[in-house]
Amino acid sequence: MKKRLLILEDGTVFTGTAFGSERASQGEVVFTTGMTGYQETISDPSFYGQIVTLTYPLIGNYGINRDDFESISPAIRGFVVRELAKTPSNFRCDLTVDEYLTSKDIPGIEGIDTRKLTRIIRSKGSVKAILTAADEEVNMDEVVAKLQATPAITNHVHEVSPKAAYPSPGRGKRVVLIDFGMKHGILRELNKRDCDVLVVPYNTSAAEILAWHPDGIMLSNGPGNPEDVQEGIETVRNLIGKVPMFGICLGHQIFSLACGARSFKLPFGHRGGNHPVKDLRTGRTDLTSQNHGYAIDIDSLKDTDLELTHIALNDGTCEGVRHKKYPVFTVQYHPEASPGPEDSNHLFDEFIEMMEVEAGKGKQHA
């Protein structure tokens, strides 16, 4: 088996066994705490540009199947596990993780101390790193200098958003879904409710969206810093008050920024399927699926028309807002799960109900 190195920008080196693609790869190292759902994790566009570490020690034991993808093309830069299952056992299994990552040209490393790596990320924050072959020609000083000099990626959403609009037809409410890096689970939930969905790129103008006469607008999840998505912020700002909206993850952040709130980078993000979130309106606590590196500053909501609706019980950060005047609500977590608990799946029903209420008001005025 070929050896591979994971070199962090602080000079820490992990030596493990290579799997997946043979190429070298560079990205931001993050960790996620899910015990299952590695296929959805690999294919989640919100991981664009990142080398993903799984904290659960055994990964790959049920293989890769045709049903659990969250995008067609995975956007991760690398995959880090403690132990990779070589002979998965599941009736849905089509490929091993190794075979799938090889086919997608994504490198992986196994056999390293993922607990130590996670502790480094928790203490120092997300770090840049490179996956490369373990050979005598590797100059550690040069690699570390290169990593430290590499600027942060700012075009995440541009890389994962579709280049053209496409429909996902239904006979119910018409929803324009602005795709900032959408997980397919969001589209599946709208399809279940028979919505007539039009998926559009992140830089679609408000005028173009309104020309489709939508009953509602969905703001999807996506990768990166919300402040880098100025086109999306401008579009959302011009849509507020015109059509009901529901935002998830990056969509929540973009909506909040469009209303005048501020965002900040979390030290190591929220990634996993076991994050407790409290609904301040009902007192109910849901276990949620999360994948984000930025959050909205709660103090910055004071000078906006936004009301805080949800908080994270682990660290008290903002997990949801609602507009005080218009029919818009957003959450930082993933109610469609995929992977993770489906405690908050009811939010899609609330979105449908909100559109129906607004449609009824329109008929009354007519």
Catalytic residues: 249, 334, 336
Calculate the dihedral angle through the C-alpha atoms of 259, 286, 44, 124, rounding to the nearest 10 degrees. 80
How many CA within 13 A on the CB side of residue 346?
Answer: 5
Compute the distance between CA of residue 213 and CA of residue 295 in angstroms, rounded to an integer. 31
How many CA within 13 A on the CB side of residue 147?
Answer: 26
189: nearest Cα among 45, 40, 338, 68: 338
Could you tell me the maximum CA-CA distance found in the chain, to the nearest angstrom? 76
Compute the distance between CA of residue 328 and CA of residue 244 in angstroms, rounded to an integer. 6
202 DSSP 8-state letter: T
Token pair for 63: 């293989």
Compute the distance between CA of residue 317 and CA of residue 243 in angstroms, rounded to an integer. 28
CB neighbours (10 Å) of residue 105?
12
Compute the distance between CA of residue 233 and CA of residue 236 in angstroms, rounded to an integer. 5
Residue with tokens 């689970």: 185
Compute the distance between CA of residue 180 and CA of residue 178 in angstroms, rounded to an integer. 6
